[in-house]
Structure 1
Amino acid sequence: MNILLISGSPRKKGNTEMLLEFCSQEVEIRGIKTDLVCLSDKIIHHCKGCNKCRDRDNCILQDDFNRLYRQVLDYDGLVIGTPVYVGMPTSLIMAFIQRLTMVAFNNGRSLSGKFGGGFAIGGEAGQLAAITDLIKFFLVNNMVVIGSDYWNIGFATKKGDIMENDKSLKYIENFAENLLNHVKLMEG
């Protein structure tokens, strides 16, 4: 069983990446392999809605998306993290998940049955709106959404704040435990 974690932050080594690295550690100590991809050094264009991906299992736009799409398909689960900018996920992660949805939908719903979850990290507000967008992505792709004992959110304003937020870290620990329980159910 393996999980791909994707940071939708345009900032390298910021709070979103730190929280996903913590999540990766929590999941791996439970025996599940993980890899982390940061979109900060990727070029992801916005979906044009052209439907040229239909029955070709890739997007016609020339950027880093198709390689990432193939990578997502190689994993059993997907965890997405985004910082909250002006009350919503970053445009970078939205471009990625919208294209991912379009290509998967047009090619046999290739994400169907995978499992995952999302995390939203912000200063004061907007995390719930952002997490709702991520949950809609998982649901429209017929994926199983894993939660925690509360919303998968974090609070941070300055770089590194997230690792001092005990509540946020506890949400991640609970998420990892729920993920393990789901894996056990899947494996019978």
Structure 2
Amino acid sequence: MKVVAINGSPRKDGNTRLLLEAVLAPLAAAGWETEYVQIGGKNIHGCRACFKCWEQKDKRCVFGKDIFNETFEKVITADAIVLGSPTYFADVTSEMKAFMDRAGLVAMANGCLLAGKIGAAVVAVRRGGATHVFDTMNHLFQISQMVLPGSTYWNMGYGLEPGKVAGDDEALRNMKQLGTAINWLGTAVKNAGPYPVLTGGEG
């Protein structure tokens, strides 16, 4: 099985990365293929609402000069997706929001490509606002018919300076448990068979 972790932090070696790597560690130990993708600080723009993805249905965004399509291809092939963001004014970074908006729309335009995949959100925060960041990323998972694992706490770690979350023992335990839960859930999902996708206009 495969998991992709996507870092929306412009600090490529900061606290968000540490938290994501803590989630990936038990999955790697369990035999999962793990991939880490850095989008924070890179060229990625928001959705332009052109709806070309609904016309072309090629699993791509028509604007292909940034890193979106290559990142989304990795997501399509993954069984689990872990999104990570620091807290910017109580929300995700602009890079993460751009990726989420386009990923959500392209997935829906192509028959709900994310349905049945596992989704988890991880947040780095100095002090406050992390719960809203966590909710923002979970909203993409939920509207995309993804499956969300639980853990021992909301998936957030505290610290401002790069590397500071390494001292947040509770956060690191929670990330380890999250990775363990993704592994368990991945086995359950795999054995459950195809997800019963409901596309727009049905029901």
**Residue in 2 aligned with 1:146?**
149
**Residue in 2 aligned with 1:37?**
37
Amino acid at match of 1:46: G
Task: Give the Cα–Cα distance (whole angstroms) in 2 for the partners of residues 156 and 133 of structure 1.
Answer: 20
**Residue in 2 aligned with 1:4?**
4
Per the TM alignment, residue 12 of structure 1 is displaced from its structure 2 partner at its CA by 1.6
Sequence identity of aligned pairs in percent? Answer: 31
Amino acid at match of 2:60: N
Per the TM alignment, residue 57 of structure 1 is displaced from its structure 2 partner at its CA by 2.0
Per the TM alignment, residue 28 of structure 1 is displaced from its structure 2 partner at its CA by 1.1
1:16 aligns with 2:19: no
Task: Give the Cα–Cα distance (whole angstroms) in 2 for the partners of residues 81 and 105 of structure 1.
Answer: 22
**Residue in 1 aligned with 2:62?**
60
Task: Give the Cα–Cα distance (whole angstroms) in 2 for the partners of residues 140 and 134 of structure 1.
Answer: 11
Task: Give the Cα–Cα distance (whole angstroms) in 1 for the partners of residues 141 and 68 of structure 2.
Answer: 18
Task: Give the Cα–Cα distance (whole angstroms) in 2 for the partners of residues 186 and 95 of structure 1.
Answer: 28
Structure 2: which 5+ residue stretches go unaligned? Answer: 192-203
Q: Compute the RMSD of aligned alpha carbons.
A: 1.2
Amino acid at match of 2:162: K
Per the TM alignment, residue 184 of structure 1 is displaced from its structure 2 partner at its CA by 2.4
CA offsets 1:75-105 (integer angstroms, 9 cap, x no match): 1110011000111111110100110001111
Q: Is the CA contact 2:79–2:186 (under 8 Å) kept in the aligned structure 1?
A: no
Q: Equivalent residues in 2 for 1:1-188 (5 A)?
A: 1-40=1-40, 42-54=42-54, 55-61=57-63, 62-188=65-191
Per the TM alignment, residue 175 of structure 1 is displaced from its structure 2 partner at its CA by 0.5
Task: Give the Cα–Cα distance (whole angstroms) in 2 for the partners of residues 102 and 69 of structure 1.
Answer: 11
Amino acid at match of 2:108: F
Amino acid at match of 1:84: T
Per the TM alignment, residue 170 of structure 1 is displaced from its structure 2 partner at its CA by 0.9
Task: Give the Cα–Cα distance (whole angstroms) in 1 for the partners of residues 45 and 145 of structure 2.
Answer: 24
Task: Give the Cα–Cα distance (whole angstroms) in 2 for the partners of residues 31 and 16 of structure 1.
Answer: 23
Q: Is the CA contact 2:25–2:179 (under 8 Å) kept in the aligned structure 1?
A: no
Q: Is the CA contact 2:9–2:41 (under 8 Å) kept in the aligned structure 1?
A: no
Per the TM alignment, residue 147 of structure 1 is displaced from its structure 2 partner at its CA by 2.0
Structure 1: which 5+ residue stretches go unaligned? Answer: none
Per the TM alignment, residue 187 of structure 1 is displaced from its structure 2 partner at its CA by 3.7
Q: Is the CA contact 2:4–2:82 (under 8 Å) kept in the aligned structure 1?
A: yes
SS of match in other structure, 1:4: strand
Task: Give the Cα–Cα distance (whole angstroms) in 2 for the partners of residues 24 and 114 of structure 1.
Answer: 16
